[in-house]
A and B are shown apart, each in its own frame.
Chain A
Amino acid sequence: MSKFKRVKKYKSDEKVTAKTFLKPAIYLLPFILGILVFTVYPFFNAVAISFKEDYKVISDTFSGWGLGNYQKIFSDPTFIKAIINTTQYVLVVVSISLVISILIAVMLNSVEKLQGLFQTAYFMPMVTSSAAIGLVWRWLFNYDYGILNYLLSLFDVDAINFLNNPQYSMISLCIYGVWSMLPFTIILLLAGLQNIDPQYYTAAKVDGAKTIDIFFNITVPLLAPTIGLVAIVNMISSFKVFDALYMLFGGKPGPAYNLYTVIFYLYEQFYTKLKLGYAAASAIVLFAIILLFTMVQNRIQKKYDYY
């Protein structure tokens, strides 16, 4: 996904003239124009805004350069809460979905029949709008009429106020998170499993190894690079949780404004409060975190010569 394949350096007998660039420039124009306007410029502009003191978007004025925005967000309890919430969400969702996905991927890999049916059911959440599905989960979680509370009542468990009780709202968000993360995780792990040389399994069987031993001594170690990779990719994507959160709680970050995440904070500072400086500073923090994750990912890919 991100390893850049080295190719032969430009070598040519032709002389480099303006003409050498003309043709590629024409082919690249629409693409590069889009990248410059909607990726490169906004990236540097966000960095710049994050260092501007008292930036006013309407007049496009600011009083000077400095770290004021960063000081402000890091002393804002809401932002700190957002970082803590997001970290919690990421750790819980990524680890639980990984464990479930490994088991399901190994099982899926060992059956031949009904593959199509299973794949359809397991992978469907991946293609569907997380906003719409967030709304569906809001219905499943409903206190009075939701199916989850009905199922709990069958086991004589008192109804849980999944969404409106701040105590449970994070758990509810994580349940949704795990469900939505499974498809992608299972797919990548399945691809990893199919890359394992079947000879290992044949040898283990000849030696009479138990299924459990095969799982822990062959499958897991050989799958480790894939597991590491998918963990990082999932951490990045779950760090950006927003759509479903927005839908689950009707546009609010949790029932008691207790579920701020980094993106929700960014969104609110930017869109509702027009504090672009704070929004930009929190965006830079987000970027720094993703940068860190990506560096780890690249190391994993390099170490195992993955992809």
Chain B
Amino acid sequence: MKNTERNKKIILYLILAIGAFIMFFPFFWMIITSLKTGFEANKVPPTIFPAKATLDNYVYALKTAPFLKYFKNSVIVTIFCVTITMFNTILAAFAFSKMRFPGRDIIFAALVAMMMIPFEMLIITNYSTIVKLGLYDTIIALIIPFTSSIFYTYILRNFFMSVPDSLYHSAKIDGASDWQFLWEILVPIAKPSLVTIALLNAIACWNSFLWSILVINSTENRTLPFGLFAFTNETGIRYERLMAGATIVVLPMIILFLFARKSIVTGVSRGGLKG
């Protein structure tokens, strides 16, 4: 009896390990290929570990295609996008949860209903809006359409609602203004939720692809995913180089995930990924 229990456990772990290996394999193979020479990358049978690991492909990617520039653009877009979105989200969630004004809940219900509008439906008009604002082919075009997120506001508002109103009233009695209450009391309490939202938002910004191929034209304004696509046309099909490029795109998010897995997973299980 004891033995079969143990065997069961071993089989369980074995299946899970095989599954984990399959899930992780594309990343593994991406990195391994990026460290091989062109000759070795196309060898049959393939070598699991490169005979002589080289960083030449990274040097090539950074030199020939301006991956450093793409990287910088992606960082700028992500930082600004997250900062502005957080600011807008915090203010809006506060107004929709703690402030009282007629029509508040009706407006909010209408906003929640709008969450199901697919972003892809909006690109047709947003593209012309960006052109009319004179923002075509600028970094700003990659930021401003995404700074008001109903989804994040919805999550944060729900959290703010769970903070008892008595806290708000007593702060008011103690002479705190709304602004002070929000930033000095509510925001610190909501820190875990805010971190989760910021992480989900950063991941979405970093990986945004369709919108960037629409509104960006010049090489110098490309972000990483678009830069990587352009790289496939510019360098020809040399997979060891393309995998180096892909690693540059993917690695920052993997590192972020390794450090903040718990927050990201909680956020996803609570509200799902949007966009």
Contacts and interface: CB of A to CB of B under 8 A. Distances in A.
B12 A107 contact: yes
B83 to A, nearest CB: 12
Given A30-B87, A38-B122, A132-B246, A124 B254 contact: yes
B225 A131 contact: yes
Contacts of A57: 128
B68 interface: no
B192 interface: no
A46 B124 contact: yes
A250 B232 contact: yes
Interface stretch (B50-58, B90-98, B183-191): B90-98
A24 B117 contact: no
Given A21-B101, A129-B207, A150-B46, A139 B29 contact: yes
A246 B26 contact: no
A147 interface: yes
A32 to B, nearest CB: 8
Nearest to A295: B116
Nearest to B32: A147
A305 B12 CA distance: 33
A87 to B, nearest CB: 16
A39 B23 contact: no
Contacts of B210: 242-243, 263, 267
A140 to B, nearest CB: 6
B222 to A, nearest CB: 12
A49 B126 CA distance: 13
B118 A118 contact: no
Contacts of B30: 136, 139
Contacts of B12: 107, 110-111
B153 interface: yes
B122 A39 contact: yes
B121 interface: yes
| Main SS class of interface, B | helix
B122 A10 contact: no
Contacts of B153: 31
Nearest to A117: B20
A161 interface: no
| Main SS class of interface, A | helix
Interface stretch (A62-70, A74-82, A88-96, A278-286): A278-286
A33 B133 CA distance: 15
Q: Which of B9, B20, B150, B256 has the most CB of A within 10 A?
A: B20
Interface in B202-231: 203, 206-207, 209-210, 214, 224-226, 228-229
Interface in A33-68: 33-35, 37-43, 45-46, 49, 57
A139 B250 contact: no
B125 A129 contact: no
Given A38-B126, A120-B257, A286 B121 contact: yes
Interface in B85-115: 87-89, 91-92, 94-96, 99-105, 108-109, 111-112, 114-115
Given A21-B101, A27-B99, A290 B118 contact: yes
Interface string A280-300: 100110110011001000000
Contact of B26 (A12, A127, A133): A133
A270 interface: yes
B229 A251 contact: yes
Contacts of B197: none
Contact of B114 (A5, A35, A147, A267): A35
Given A32-B148, A34-B88, A263-B210, 8 more contacts: A12-B100, A21-B101, A27-B95, A125-B26, A128-B254, A131-B207, A270-B124, A287-B121
5 contacts: A35-B114, A132-B246, A147-B29, A187-B265, A284-B121
Interface of B: 8-9, 12-13, 15-16, 19-21, 23-24, 26-27, 29-30, 33, 41-46, 87-89, 91-92, 94-96, 99-105, 108-109, 111-112, 114-118, 120-129, 144-148, 150, 153, 158, 161, 178, 203, 206-207, 209-210, 214, 224-226, 228-229, 232-233, 239, 242-243, 245-246, 249-250, 253-254, 256-258, 261, 264-265, 268-273
Interface of A: 1-2, 4-7, 9-10, 12, 16, 20-21, 23-24, 27-28, 30-35, 37-43, 45-46, 49, 57, 104, 107-108, 110-111, 113-114, 116-133, 135-137, 139-140, 142, 144-145, 147, 150, 179, 182-184, 187-188, 190-191, 211, 233, 236-237, 240, 242-243, 246-247, 250-251, 263, 266-267, 270-271, 276, 279-280, 283-284, 286-287, 290-291, 294
